[in-house]
Structure 1
Amino acid sequence: MTDSSGTRVTLWIVVAAATLTVMAGAILGPVVPAIQDGLGVSESAAGLIITTHGALIVLASPVAGSIIDRVGPRRPFVAGLLLYAAGGSAGLVIDAFGPLLLSRAVLGVGTAFVYTGITVLIYERFEGQRMDRALGLRSGANSAGAAVWPLVGGALGTLSWQLPFGVYLIALPLGLLAVALIPESGRAAAAADGSGDGGSDPESGGTPAAGVAGVLAVVRRRPALLAVYLLYFGANALLYSIVVFYPQLLAGVGTTSSLSISLYLAANGAAGGVSAALYDRLAQRVRRHVLVIAAFALWLGAFATATVADSPLAAVPPVVGFGFGLGLVFPSAFAWIEALAPVDRQGQFSSYLASAGYVGQFLSPVLFGPLIPLFGVRGVFGAAAVAAGGGVLSLGAALTRRRLRRTPHR
């Protein structure tokens, strides 16, 4: 594939859009108490303003994936950006809980189309090391968004609880740029002239394989897909163990200000951005399985260190180590989906990755929270260390079995 100016423009538009998918919830995190006061609602109700979009992403992502497979990624991606801008910025003028919650649902639908649209645009426009680089930059942009947007939201929230909602309007010029500068794909042209149905599976002789039965047929042939979804679910669950519970650990070592806590989370995002930016070069030197094992080893060390951190300075290496690992796992997961999913159903199967990730984020407090009354907040990170160690052992055993199968018997 040639490195055309159009391809470069597409890359930078999708990289910029990738920061928005994490911004969807992160930008409002620091202003939840202000939202609670401004709307006159309970803390849990105010929290729904942060989490509602995530539930809609889980539900809407498979729909987005199916549409993208039929018409190509460009138009759904643009539509997602416009929905994102409309649903996200509605909080600038809405000051009632019910309508604001509805606008967050619109935001979630838009985010689902943006998230999967980014993935398939990368799959279609890049290959080989350039695809690895694009996936790494995409993950780096997610990490950068996780580092920067909470700070922006917190700063704007000091002026008004509604002002951070205006930042969602950034999606509008990105959508207009996408309309003007991202070309239609061959998939879209095939759909327009009726030569593609978006539901066939090349491995089944072109016979359409729709619905649950079609998905199960693909998974039976390629069971590694389930392992990738489990990996992405676990990575996001572990990420949110830090997002949700690390402030409690920091409070135990004397760090309580929202600004100081946001700096720790920013360090986590910055570390992930560094390793993600290096991902394509690392993937040229070692196999993705090895990179993921290295990530789990980093996570094991990070969470183990968190269990004994006894000062603000000692609490820095865990978030940095976890971030480094995250920057290796996320692009690896997307690259594996590109390799495993049928070519004409990459939107559908990549959308399940988005759903798995957001389910992991949602369930993280449910999985780890019950440990706090039993073992304290450090017990959360002890359990996370055990999970990371299990990942190292499982992946190591899988690689060993693969080598043994490939070794000629004498």
Structure 2
Amino acid sequence: MSDGNDERGGSIVPWRSATLHVILASSLMGVMGVSLISPLLPSLRGVFGVSDAQIGLVITVYTLPGVFLTPFIGLVADRIGRRRVIIPLLFVFGIGGAGIAVAHSFRAVLALRFLQGIGASALVTLAVTLIGDVYEGARRNAVMGVNSSTIGTGAALYPLIGGALASVRWNLPFLFFGIGIVVALVALVALPEPEGTEPDDIRTYLSGLSDVVTSPEALAIFAAIFIVFFVFYGAVQTALPLLLTDEFGLSSGGIGLTLSMVSLASAVVSSQYGRISQWRSAPELIALGFLAYGCSLLGVRLAPSPLFVGASLLIFGVGFGLVMPSIDTAIVTAVPDRLRAGMMGMRTSVLRLGQTAGPIAFTFLAETFFPTPSTGYRLLLVVCGVVILAAGAVGYPLLRR
């Protein structure tokens, strides 16, 4: 289906489309949940008197619902429509996140983060699904790149916003999540339901989805997604803020500025994805992204100051800007419309599994098997960097052939 506003101004990207605005806003909500609060994780240790491993749960309980719920949500969205699913999720995200601002115990924080994670579980999934529903061909690639660039821009700004708000009071970043309620109200008015075919009966639907999900191409994509987000959320979003505080004494604002380098570079690269995708295939771009990840993690380990850490994270962002739109494009073009939300749900379930396992693994290993957590974080960065660099170096020439 083509968006009725996509021809205005002659641009390949339909900038005046209300549908596009809701898609981009939903994606922005979907990536806000972690990047906004990463800079204040060290501060939460003092506010609630908890350890590094317990702080990792602030990320884990948020990402955990997506592991189990997103495939089911995708199935429901394929059967009853995208609009009827994404709007309630936006409300739950905003209410759960803003409620943390008045939490009086760490247990209450975790409970509300879990609720917020339910709302966030499929926001990006449904936003990308809508892109596949509404746009076609070169316009689809261009909008996919704009969506990834918007995600990167938001993720670059959120650590800065979160760090600045946390420097005033620890709970202000959580109030910021209330924007999700505003987006839900706008979507009620502005988001139409894409046209679609009559849904299959449930047995036929599940059989078709199973065939797609278990194909070698899909399994390779799922493996890449898990690795990317296991390392990103374990090393960059959880371990690195703690390391920057313990090793360099950075404040929440400084941590936010440093982490924003990933999203800044990602936004720039993914904004050009429509052009880049004409140069190399999606699998090749994923392999190149892995090369960038590996170089970045090794650079972070060797960095003598936060300035050099930030410079190394720019390289990680380049990889992110190549990998994510390539993965999403490969998925939405490989499945029929009637299975698209379900397939994207499986993609997000694997993504959430990586997000959930990463923080637990990094903090547990660093605290359990090393003299100090900082020593553990540094060695884990090297191990991950070498493994991912090797995967990209081996994979790229094979995919080229």
Taking structure 1 as the reference length, the TM-score comes to: 0.83
Superposed, 1:280-295 pairs within 5 Å as: 280-295=274-289
After superposing the two structures, state which structure 1 stretch, 249-258 or 386-395, moved more: 249-258
The alpha-carbon deviation at position 42 of structure 1 amounts to 6.3
What displacement does 1:293 show? 2.5
Distance 1:81 1:313, change over 3 A: closer
Q: Is 1:61 aligned to residue 70 of structure 2?
A: yes
In the TM superposition, 1:290-369 aligns within 5 A as: 290-365=284-359, 367-368=361-362
Instruction: Measure, in 2, the Cα distance between the counterparts of 1:2 and 1:308.
Output: 49
- Alignment of 1:163 with 2:172, yes or no, is yes
1:197 corresponds to: 200
Extract unaligned runs of 5+ from structure 2. Answer: 7-13
Equivalenced residues, count: 385
C-alpha separation in 1, matches of 2:44 and 2:311? 32
The partner residue of 2:370 within 356, 368, 373 is 373
Q: TM-score normalised to the size of structure 2?
A: 0.85
Secondary structure of 1:186's counterpart equals: coil
Mean Cα deviation higher: 343-352 or 319-328: 343-352
C-alpha spacing 1:338/1:255, structure 2 compared with 1 (3 Å): same
CA distance in 1, matches of 2:75, 2:243: 42
In the TM superposition, residue 264 of structure 1 has moved relative to its aligned partner by 1.4
Inter-CA distance 102–381: structure 2 relative to 1 (3 Å threshold): closer
Separation in 2, partners of 1:258, 1:32:
8
Distance of 2:245 and 2:104 partners within structure 1: 32
Give the Cα separation in 2 of the matches to 1:299 and 1:249: 19
The verdict on how the C-alpha distance between 1:89 and 1:378 changes in structure 2, with shifts beyond 3 A counting, is: closer
- Asked if 1:382 corresponds to 2:375, the answer is no
Unaligned runs of 5+ residues in structure 1 are 201-207, 404-410
Per-residue CA deviations over 1:312-352 (Å, capped at 9, x if unaligned) read: 44333310101011011011111111122343111111111
Cα distance in 2 for residues equivalent to 1:131 and 1:17: 17
Relative distance call for 1:261 and 1:92 in structure 2 (3 A) is: closer
Judged with a 3 Å threshold, the aligned counterparts in structure 2 of structure 1 residues 48 and 388 are, in CA distance, closer, same or farther, namely: closer
Task: Say if 1:45 and 1:364 are closer, same or farther in 2 by CA, change over 3 A.
Answer: closer
Residues 107-154 of structure 1: CA deviation (Å, up to 9, x unaligned) = 111112323221211110112222222222222222223222222223
Report the counterpart of residue 256 of structure 1 in structure 2. Answer: 250
- CA-atom RMSD in angstroms: 2.8
Q: Distance in 1 between matches of 2:118 and 2:282?
A: 31
One-letter amino acid matched to 1:373: F
Judging changes above 3 Å, is the alpha-carbon distance between structure 1 residues 4 and 87 closer, same or farther for their aligned structure 2 residues?
same
Residues 73 and 117, structure 1, Cα contact 8 Å, conserved in 2? yes
Paired residue for 2:221? Answer: 228
Q: Distance in 1 between matches of 2:322 and 2:39?
A: 28
Name the structure 1 match of 2:135: 126
Provide Cα deviations, 1:211-260, integer angstroms capped at 9, x if missing partner: xx65443344x320011111111111222212233346646874533322
Compared CA separation, residues 261 and 2, structure 1 to 2 (3 A): same
Task: Tell me, in whole angstroms, the C-alpha distance in 1 between the residues paired with 2:241 and 2:56.
Answer: 17
1-side partners of 2:244 and 2:52: how far apart?
Answer: 22
Q: Which amino acid aligns with 2:381?
A: F
Runs of 4+ in 1 over 6 A off after TM superposition: 40-43
Q: Over alpha carbons, which structure has the higher Rg? A: 1
Assess, with a 3 A threshold, how the Cα gap between structure 1 residues 168 and 249 changes in structure 2: closer, same or farther: closer
Specify the SS of the correspondent of 1:62: helix
1:397 is displaced (CA, Å) by 4.9
With over 3 angstroms needed to count, the CA separation of the structure-2 counterparts of 1:37 and 1:59, relative to structure 1, is same
